[in-house]
Amino acid sequence: MAQARPGRVSVQAWQPPRRIDAIDFWLRSRLLATAHALRETLRPTARRWPGGAHALADAPVLAQYRTPLWSDGRADEFPLVAGKVQNLRVARPAFDAIEVPGGEVMSFWRQLGRPGAGRGFVLGREVRGGCVVPTLAGGLCQLSNALATVAVRAGFELVERHGHTARIEQADTPDSDAVDATVFWNYVDVKLRASHAWRLEVAVTDSELVVRIRARAPRAVAVLAAPLTLRRTNDDAAPALPLARGCLSCEETTCFRHRPSIDVGAEGRTAVFVDGWTPEFARYLREMHPQAQRMQPAPLRLAFWRVPAAGWHREPATKGAVTTAWTASLRRAVWQRLWARHAGRRQASLIDGQRWLAQALAARLEPAHTQLVVEQSLLPHLQRIGALDGRRITVLAGALPMTDIEQRLDAASQRWPGDASLCDFRADTSLVRDEALALARAAVVVTPHAEVARAMAMCAPQATLQRLDWTLPQMKAAKATHSEHDQPPLVVFAASALARKGARELAAALQGWPCRLCVLGSPSDDARLWQGIEHMQHMNWQGDWLARAAVVVLPAHVEHAPRAVLRAVAAGVPVVASTACGLGGLPGVCEIAPGDIDALRTALQQAVRTA
């Protein structure tokens, strides 16, 4: 947002601002804003157009304009530049995906509404009297400039436009057809009109503001309104705009508007969003982001998930400040506890909790947080609320994309149509789309999981993929006792008896083979699952199961955290696992394709013979 224009200010020679001038400006601007509000109430010139329309989503792009977010302004005024980006981040949803009928007017302020602190607007930059001053919601003129420019390129009529009174230092040379269009609540406006229906799309990437117009009508000749003023001048030609002075970099320390410089670093700060603890990601954060601010849930034990003994709350992943979302964590823990034993609702309660946590943590972000390291489960929710806009994103990818998970479970359910647990995971379509959009903007993707790495290479091809090494726990080598040699080999199924973990394939592979089966987790709801297997038991995650195991098996269709299998690898016990476990390259692991019963039986028998 730039200088209000109760009269065009001449800044041929800069003079220190006076308090009396500021008071005069405030009084006149309030008078003009009140008069404008009354006129618009009695006879509105435009209406607010709702977002989310899709009628013209596939229409051709008539015009597009891209402007940099971070390269305008001096280095020591970075806090105001960060504030500007935050204001663009908050304003974007009001303009994105709106469709305006032919002949109708789109008004910047009617579309956005009053920019107040309660809506998330912060101090940004405003040009006033030849100075760049900190102002609430400052910097919105970058969006108004882009709207006016893309409208002219598309051949629209600029019903109303006002020019700046000074220019801000900018590293990049603006386009020759860029249109100068400032705004000030609520009477200095930008208004557009076209003879045909059109769609506006606004995106904020990590480095650019992108504005485009779509329509099915041909491009017309632009009608460019001259800069409007509220007081006539005798100048025949407008003078070249002078360079504005910055309140954070100006040497006029006696000026009443002077602000001391704020040290937030040349590139801002980094925030880490985590929802759990894994040794691989903890090691990565300690090495790559040691000073980042960590944002996390509270280590509560009310939910069915459990905080590990050496959890992230006891073994910090970073040395920076820690922000804990206690209220959201308590709400999530109680909610997940209620639905823990409802198979059809359990996954939905997990997603609900992730959404609450993401919203609570995003509310604690500051404009100076220009880089985010985000655990994948929180990613789509941050995308939906716009917290990723204008920031560089690193994804801690611990799972397959939701589209891949659903495809794998659908394929398994075709083989086992009677198993309802294969239909447990079904995310909302909009959430799946938000995850895909978030991954498409990621700059770095980090994962130890081989299968996740392959999937991310497909859905985030623009990102730098970093594969981490699995961290093996400290384990003693497992040795079978003398009594174990006289019994059939013990096969340990390193999961609960669920179809998505490969329980049905394992039951089929063990038919007719003399062995003992130990299910490490909880039993299946299907009492007939293990029919034909004489010796079997359920451990319910208790006891020393590795000491007696001949082979550990996990033929899962979907498996993101194969911790029990990693314990077996560390103890030297042979492992047979599907490629879905992502253990490719680990010694002692025989990989098979998910759902391949014959390959599973052969690999188990071979592992027992060589053990």
For residue 294, CA distances in Å to 76, 102, 325, 329, 385 come to: 26, 49, 11, 15, 20
Query: Which is higher by pLDDT, 421 or 51?
Result: 51
**534's tokens:** 């004489």
pLDDT score, position 186:
85
pLDDT tens digits, residue range 298-356? 876 544 444 444 443 445 556 668 889 999 999 998 888 888 777 667 778 888 999 99
pLDDT score, position 108:
96
Cβ–Cβ contacts within 10 Å for residue 530, how many? 20
pLDDT score, position 308:
44
With a cut of 80, say whether residue 14 has pLDDT above it.
no
pLDDT tens digits, residue range 206-257? 999 999 999 998 766 655 555 544 333 334 444 556 666 666 666 666 676 7
Confidence of residue 482 (pLDDT cuts 50, 70, 90): very low
Asked whether 151 and 213 are in contact (CB, 8 A), the reply is yes
Whole-number Å distance between alpha carbons of 558 and 579: 9
pLDDT score, position 228:
47
* Average pLDDT estimate for 418-438: 84
Whole-number Å distance between alpha carbons of 333 and 300: 7
pLDDT score, position 224:
56
Contacts of 531 (CB under 8 A, 6+ apart): 507
pLDDT tens digits, residue range 450-460? 999 999 999 99
pLDDT score, position 505:
94
Whole-number Å distance between alpha carbons of 476 and 573: 11
Between strands 208-214 and 61-68, the pairing is antiparallel
Whole-number Å distance between alpha carbons of 433 and 399: 16
> Which part of the chain has CATH 3.40.50.2000?
482-610
For residue 339, CA distances in Å to 262, 335, 540 come to: 47, 7, 20
Query: Which is higher by pLDDT, 168 or 45?
Result: 45
**458's tokens:** 């497909």
String of DSSP letters for 366-402:
-TTEEEEEEEGGGHHHHHHTTTTTTSEEEEE--S--H
pLDDT score, position 20:
86
Whole-number Å distance between alpha carbons of 467 and 469: 7
Whole-model pTM? 0.85
Q: Which residue has the tokens 């990621």?
A: 442
Q: Which residue has the tokens 């003079």?
A: 15
pLDDT tens digits, residue range 531-544? 888 888 888 888 88
From the list 162, 147, 151, the residue with the least C-alpha distance to 112 is 147
pLDDT score, position 97:
94
H or E stretch at 134: strand 131-136
Cβ–Cβ contacts within 10 Å for residue 178, how many? 16
Q: How far is C-alpha 42 from the geometric centre of its chain's CA atoms?
A: 42
pLDDT score, position 502:
93
Whole-number Å distance between alpha carbons of 398 and 448: 8
pLDDT score, position 396:
97
Whole-number Å distance between alpha carbons of 454 and 441: 17
Query: Which is higher by pLDDT, 445 or 11?
Result: 445
* Average pLDDT estimate for 62-79: 84
* Domain 269-467 part of CATH 3.40.50: yes
CATH superfamily for 482-610 is Glycogen Phosphorylase B; (3.40.50.2000)
Task: Kindly state the greatest CA–CA separation across the chain.
Answer: 108
**5's tokens:** 């224009």
* Average pLDDT estimate for 175-187: 86
Between strands 245-246 and 293-297, the pairing is unpaired
Whole-number Å distance between alpha carbons of 174 and 183: 19
Spell out where 292-449 has E strands: 293-297, 322-325, 369-375, 392-396, 444-447
β-bridge mates for residue 157, sequence order: 193, 223
Whole-number Å distance between alpha carbons of 396 and 416: 32
Q: What is residue 599's three-state secondary structure?
A: helix
pLDDT score, position 306:
42
pLDDT score, position 535:
84
Geometric angle at alpha carbon 497, from 495 and 499, rounded to 5°: 105
Cβ–Cβ contacts within 10 Å for residue 434, how many? 21
* Average pLDDT estimate for 497-507: 92
Cβ–Cβ contacts within 10 Å for residue 551, how many? 23
With a cut of 70, say whether residue 26 has pLDDT above it.
yes
Percentage of the chain exceeding pLDDT 90: 53
Helices (H), 123-184: 141-153
